[in-house]
Structure 1
Amino acid sequence: MKYTERLVFKTPEQKDFQRYFEINADPETNLYNPYGPMNFEKAKNTFDALTEHWKEHQFGFWAISEKENPELVIGFGGLNYRLYGDVVKLNLGYRIDKDFWNKGYATEIGVHTIRHGFEELRQNQIFAVVRPDNQASIKVLEKCGLQLFDELNDIPNQKNSLIFIIQKNIE
């Protein structure tokens, strides 16, 4: 387990699937997701891929809770390898239960994740992809030090997604 000032980060376990499904099936948490909320089967497949990523790489998206209530998972976030078009990149992502929005948790997750990627995983670049209308997530990425890098035509008949990057300062 890892900790920040207010949050607990743990490797997801099968018992966390129900919360994963609840968070990802909520239309509000998927407001900018062109594919919409996840159904049960999609959530199961995605959660299985999330746990497989942990097994294969020894890192991935954490199940995240508040220190005050560590039994309740409020979201999932971290790093994973993700296809950006036809190139695999180290991707920062998160999704938080809407009841825990506007508390600065996304920024806290982002900062912790970037530090983990640079210091513990010894990576030099971290990317994030975001829908162009998702101003809240864009602000979070900018607060975490990421900068607009490129665009990605990843969803047919939709505006391009925005790609953000942060690079480790190599001295």
Structure 2
Amino acid sequence: WPLMIDPQGQANRWIRNMEGSKLRIIDLKMAGFLREVENAVQYGFPVLLQDILEEIDPALEPVLSKSVLKIGNREVLRLGDKELDFSPDFRLYITTKLANPHYTPEISTKATVVNFAVKKDGLEAQLLGIVVQKEEPTLEKQKSELTIRVATGKRQLVDLENEILRLLSETK
């Protein structure tokens, strides 16, 4: 599962936009947060576990480690004293506002740490984009279109290189 270092809240906004209305937003300080997680695991809802500190509630250990058991044709997750049917649609996102957190090795091995903290260069690029969007919207639109075209071109280049390599390997 991704654990996102998100001091500016960009990851939270991105996840909320991407997942939409089905997203369950959970804070470990909430009463009954574990019940929300249980429902999400069973019914395949995405969960945003937001604003964690450097430790995560041990009750979430089976979810973090993806301890899913196969019982017959069922996939089951034991959470506390309950056996829950595990939906393959379940997704977990974890975010922290801490700028430089220190996680235990247990957490670091069970989650993929992604740093969303904005550095000076990134902030400059974002602010420049906002200014250009306000002052010259057509220029910003052109830039976006060109960026997409460049990315598409790079993808096509990789595909063509792979095709050439495949053809060369088949030729003897």
After TM superposition, the score normalised by the length of structure 2 is 0.26
What is the TM-score of this pair, normalised by structure 1?
0.26
Q: Name the structure with the higher helix share.
A: 2
Work out which structure has the larger RCO, using CA pairs closer than 8 Å and 6 or more positions apart in sequence: 2
**Would you tell me which structure has more strand in proportion to its own residues?**
1
